Structure 1
């Protein structure tokens, strides 16, 4: 999961959970994950491209903008 790119589909605010769609080549598709910013900063709006920097099973990722 770490290093995969995705697109924000639900706004990720400061300290708030959002949603990203991440393309997973091994599963031949795209899946939705709950997402938080890895470092505090501005919110990420829908459509922003992000990279996964941490994964917490079962469906939570921490992301940073590209």
Structure 2
């Protein structure tokens, strides 16, 4: 994450695509969840053109 995601906040993530990295607007997949900058996330849904819903990746 390059920007915090949480209630009332739109964050940003860098996603590896086609051998490079692209920025996407990010929202929490679970309502009310907050993820700070630097959190490793899993993209669980994509909505064109540049929006993703993410969950924290643990493990």
Shorter-chain TM-score bucket reads: 0.7 to 0.9
Q: Any gaps of 5 or more consecutive residues in structure 1?
A: 1-7
RMSD over aligned Cα atoms:
1.1
Q: Work out the number of aligned pairs and report it.
A: 57
The runs of at least 4 consecutive aligned structure 1 residues that moved more than 2 Å come to none
Q: Any gaps of 5 or more consecutive residues in structure 2?
A: none
TM-score normalised by the chain length of structure 1: 0.79
| Greater relative contact order (Cα < 8 A, sep 6+) | 1
Q: Which has the higher strand share?
A: 1
TM-score normalised by the chain length of structure 2: 0.87
